[in-house]
A and B are shown apart, each in its own frame.
Chain A
Amino acid sequence: MRFLIKYRAVISLILCTSLLAGCWDREEINDVAFVIGIAVDKEGEDYRSSLQIALPGQSGASGSEGGGGGTSGDKPWFILSNTARTLRGTSLEGQKSLSRRIYYAHRRTILIGEDLARDGVAPMLDLFTRYPLNRLSALPVVTRGEAHKVIDTDAPIEKFPSEMVRELCFLNMRNPRSLKTFIDSILSEGVDPFLPIASVSDNVPQDWKGSITNIKLDGLAIFKKDKLVGMMDKAPADALILAMGEANEPEVMVKAPRGEGDLFIKLNENNSSLHPKIVNGKVSVIIRLYAKGVVVDNESDYGDKREKEISNLNEAIHQKIKEDIEEGVKLVQHKFKADILGIGRSIHRQLPKEWDKIKDRWEVLYPDVQVSVEPHVIIENVGIVNKPIGVVEEDIVHD
């Protein structure tokens, strides 16, 4: 007590400061609107942003039924779409018609419309990174056509369509391109950025009963600096992702070495490395791919038990991977002239002196770089069935 009396002036001052501070920045959780995803499009000169905002009252969490509003069957989100001269302007415009503060910290997916991507994404990126509430781990994705159509699909398996896009990205690549890696590859020399492409699909053919819209990831959007230069289809895109060592348990279809039909081999573990070489000013690069494979499906009549057969399969998968990757690389080299594999960067890192000599001419040199693929796949396992199970022993083709 004596302590309190002795320092009463100090103590009352301290107590007063707590009153002054009040509840600084306090914001109850039911006063914020969580933006889960955003779709950005260009409409003429204007930006259109479509915010996917979570409705927590409808998310089915326990206790929410007390809220009165939660009619079942409603979507747990709604879209708030606005146009303005600038992207920030659309957000301010949106706030005018929203009673809770728009809160971007949980925006984990950024869908970029095709037209906007072709015009360049640089002005938009600043808004997405400057304010610390933004997540640099958000995943930017380019859409075929307009982005707001993708964010407004039914996609019933996840709570939010933008969440679905995000999950798809994680299935597609081991380390999906985030805002951070995307911006990094825009700014680094010797590598060109790329993003996955999302598009609207149907769960069943459209004329069937109960058809709803869904989302799929198909292909890669290739960028030069911040501008989209082309879109690549699913098949070569997958080969390129494998070449980057980013593929998430890919399955490679191999034609049976003899006999009829195909086999599927899943590459459980895979990683790749680039080995550039410069001889007499001529640049060549070797892509080395190491992988462990499992036979997941044998739809052919080719036996897969004997040692010889396994080594033939191995040979076949090497051939297949080599062809696929070389085809994909050819496409980016000649059609898009974009170095998404980062061959230039590998030279920069491994042969820095040579890079200094060629970096100014890299744009010109790149299409002519000799790329060869060296796959090293070991088939470790053929599953619990070691021959085509539906085929009689006499009909199986053995080596």
Chain B
Amino acid sequence: MAGKSSKGSDKSKASASATDSSKYVPLGLPSPPILKQPISAIHTNQIQALKEIFSNSSDVVFRNVMITPEVQGLLIYVEGIVNSADIQEHMLRPLIRGLIQQRTDEPDVPIDDTRIELTQVKRVQTWAAATEGVLASSALLVMDGEAEAWLFNVKGGVRRGVEEPQTESVIRGPREGFTETLRMNTALLRFKLKTPALKMVSMTLGSDTKTDVVLVYLEGVADPQLIQDVKKRLEKIEIDGILESGYIEELIEDNPNSPFPQMHYSERPDTVAANLLEGRFSIMVDGTPFALIAPVTMWQMLQASEDYYERFFISNLIRWIRFLFVFIALFLPALYIAITTFHQDMLPTTLILSIAGAREAIPFPALIEALIMELSFEALREAGVRLPKTVGQAVSILGALVIGQAAVQAGIVSAPMVIIVSMTGIASFTIPRFNFAITVRLLRFPIMLLAGMLGLYGIVIGLVLISVHLTQMTSFGVPYLSGVSPYHKKDTKDILVRVPWWKMINRPSTVHRDRKRMVRDINGSPEAEEGW
């Protein structure tokens, strides 16, 4: 009963909100009423207003300056997020020197901002705008007799420099990674793509964090409809704060109920640049080194940037190993459970006998044994990530000794199971994208349960369910298995194999508009004409 009536009211609410905007409550923390007033021209009022706005804010600096012998001014900035040298060199010194000059030579020169040697100057009339500027790393100057305040951009402060990315290390490839500073990140990207077609649409998200977010794409390569769609999705976001790109990812993805990631993230400028060149877009967020990239296919989740830097023989070998190990990561424990508890006839006699020998004294059924081991492995991994590096090592030694050695010797866990779990663990770390690897690890558990209940039949059911889900899934309108399902012959060049660069004449057909990426096949082989 209750469910039905609430459903009805839901619908009416939805239709009402579209027309009636009075119910719309904007987000944001309560602010002092003074913010809504225009800036007063009387200096004492100005000081009072600012003291009220920035009460109990120890990091805000108030500095009295004398503009002319008659005019008092007040300089306000937030310590730590501004460049103190800029303030010292280009604001205070010219003001003071100008004052001396004015006293002596030309007393009638009007005051204006040309005396300040800084590029970005903004005049604001309201306290609200002035406050926003101060909090966004500007210095604010208010003067007696002026109903206008000046905001000078003195962005600065200490932030992390460009370092090697921690999560995506490579043997061969650029060593620079994004940082927490948005403009530094966009600069890193601009170093790579020196074309005016590289567009960076800026917007501010989060009512309290006012996080700068930049949508990056290559005009003429990315599908304009896709870009429109993303812009729309980004504009719809209303939230108090965006602290990491993960917030945005969850808010704008196609299938929020799917365990599979539909955007990938990278802290490598080269990875982002490569994806832009293939017609995808990227969303960069201030305050995090991780840029989002979409639309993606599942195949991309199994590709690392190094695939494209090493020669194609090596890349292909490594890619195939990855494919193999994704299957191992997903199915090996389940296969072990299914075969040892349902299909003992499927293994060679000597192998099944040594497994039987090892399992002879184990008190648990294979499924329980596997669950215990897999869960402890996941816990161990999690502990290793969270703990400080020095302690982390101790934990891993403890894990290896306790679970690997003692448990086997005590006859609680069988040695083959330890091998299976370690193999699975290693396999899941061969997946280059962490968010995909964690999905695979997550799906392993339901498949293990299915295998424990129904044997290989259960594994097949699991595989079918996953396949059905993957085939119907999309990432920003692009099918998740694109290239294989729906099949594009020309895209197979970069799915199961990575063809040599001199064969990659065109961009992938799934997301591009302008297909050609190479003028001609430099080796002059005839297939190139067909455009592989």
Question: CB within 8 Å of A: which of B341-373?
Answer: 341-342, 344-345, 349, 352-362, 365-366
Given contacts A63-B361, A64-B361, A23 and B452 within 8 Å (CB-CB) = yes
Q: Mark A239-269, 1 if CB is under 8 A from B, else 0.
A: 0000000000000000000000000000000
In the complex, A133 has a CB within 8 A of chain B:
yes
Residues in A neighbouring B342, C-beta threshold 8 A? 25-27
Cβ contact within 8 Å between B454 and A63:
no
In the complex, B116 has a CB within 8 A of chain A:
no
Cβ contact within 8 Å between A26 and B455:
yes
Cβ contact within 8 Å between B414 and A21:
no
In the complex, B230 has a CB within 8 A of chain A:
no
Cβ contact within 8 Å between A62 and B453:
no
In the complex, A54 has a CB within 8 A of chain B:
yes
Question: CB within 8 Å of B: which of A298-357?
Answer: none
Q: Tell me, in angstroms, the Cα distance from A374 to B116 when the chains sit together.
A: 111
Q: Tell me, in angstroms, the Cα distance from A21 to B409 when the chains sit together.
A: 35
In the assembled complex, the CB of B479 is this many whole angstroms from the nearest CB of chain A, namely 20
In the complex, A28 has a CB within 8 A of chain B:
yes
Cβ contact within 8 Å between A64 and B455:
no
In the assembled complex, the CB of B370 is this many whole angstroms from the nearest CB of chain A, namely 13
Residues in A neighbouring B415, C-beta threshold 8 A? 61-63
In the complex, B304 has a CB within 8 A of chain A:
no
In the complex, B410 has a CB within 8 A of chain A:
yes
- Of A18, A24, A34, A66, the residue contacting B356 (CB under 8 A) is A34
Cβ contact within 8 Å between A66 and B409:
yes
Residues in B neighbouring A159, C-beta threshold 8 A? 353
- On chain A, the number of residues with a Cβ less than 8 Å from chain B's Cβ atoms is 34
Residues in A neighbouring B366, C-beta threshold 8 A? 28-29
Residues in A neighbouring B357, C-beta threshold 8 A? 56-61, 63-64
Residues in B neighbouring A67, C-beta threshold 8 A? 360-361, 411
Q: Mark B406-440, 1 if CB is under 8 A from A, else 0.
A: 00111100110000000000000000000000000
- Of A26, A59, A133, the residue contacting B341 (CB under 8 A) is A26
Cβ contact within 8 Å between B353 and A24:
no
Q: Tell me, in angstroms, the Cα distance from A36 to B349 when the chains sit together.
A: 8
Of A102-110, A118-126, A227-235, A383-391, the one contacting chain B is A102-110
In the assembled complex, the CB of A37 is this many whole angstroms from the nearest CB of chain B, namely 10
Given contacts A29-B366, A32-B344, A63 and B411 within 8 Å (CB-CB) = yes
Cβ contact within 8 Å between B411 and A29:
no
In the assembled complex, the CB of B459 is this many whole angstroms from the nearest CB of chain A, namely 14
Cβ contact within 8 Å between B453 and A23:
yes
Q: Tell me, in angstroms, the Cα distance from A220 to B358 when the chains sit together.
A: 39
Residues in A neighbouring B452, C-beta threshold 8 A? 23, 26
Q: Tell me, in angstroms, the Cα distance from A27 to B359 when the chains sit together.
A: 13
Cβ contact within 8 Å between A59 and B353:
yes
In the complex, A68 has a CB within 8 A of chain B:
yes
In the assembled complex, the CB of A57 is this many whole angstroms from the nearest CB of chain B, namely 4
Cβ contact within 8 Å between A68 and B453:
no
Nearest chain B residue, comparing its CB with the CB of A103: B344
In the complex, A99 has a CB within 8 A of chain B:
no
Q: Tell me, in angstroms, the Cα distance from A64 to B257 when the chains sit together.
A: 45
In the complex, A30 has a CB within 8 A of chain B:
yes
Given contacts A3-B257, A30-B362, A66-B361, A25 and B455 within 8 Å (CB-CB) = yes
Given contacts A29-B359, A29-B366, A34-B352, A66 and B453 within 8 Å (CB-CB) = no
Nearest chain B residue, comparing its CB with the CB of A63: B358
Nearest chain A residue, comparing its CB with the CB of B347: A106
In the complex, B340 has a CB within 8 A of chain A:
yes
In the assembled complex, the CB of B345 is this many whole angstroms from the nearest CB of chain A, namely 3
Residues in B neighbouring A57, C-beta threshold 8 A? 357, 360-361
Q: Tell me, in angstroms, the Cα distance from A62 to B405 when the chains sit together.
A: 12
Q: Tell me, in angstroms, the Cα distance from A28 to B454 when the chains sit together.
A: 13
In the complex, A44 has a CB within 8 A of chain B:
no
In the complex, A210 has a CB within 8 A of chain B:
no
Given contacts A24-B453, A67-B411, A56 and B344 within 8 Å (CB-CB) = no
Q: Mark A94-135, 1 if CB is under 8 A from B, else 0.
A: 000000000101101000000000000000000000000100
Question: CB within 8 Å of A: which of B363-413?
Answer: 365-366, 408-411
Q: Tell me, in angstroms, the Cα distance from A148 to B376 when the chains sit together.
A: 49
Given contacts A54-B356, A61-B354, A28 and B341 within 8 Å (CB-CB) = yes
Residues in B neighbouring A30, C-beta threshold 8 A? 356, 359-360, 362
Residues in A neighbouring B359, C-beta threshold 8 A? 28-30, 56, 63
Given contacts A36-B349, A57-B357, A105-B345, A18 and B414 within 8 Å (CB-CB) = no
Cβ contact within 8 Å between B354 and A66:
no
Q: Tell me, in angstroms, the Cα distance from A3 to B469 when the chains sit together.
A: 14
- Of A58, A60, A63, A106, the residue contacting B352 (CB under 8 A) is A106
Q: Tell me, in angstroms, the Cα distance from A61 to B455 when the chains sit together.
A: 25
In the complex, A22 has a CB within 8 A of chain B:
yes
Q: Tell me, in angstroms, the Cα distance from A367 to B298 when the chains sit together.
A: 70
Question: CB within 8 Å of A: which of B430-467?
Answer: 452-455
9 further interface pairs, Cβ-Cβ under 8 Å (given A67-B360, A159-B353): A27-B342, A28-B359, A29-B341, A30-B359, A59-B356, A61-B355, A63-B414, A64-B358, A103-B345
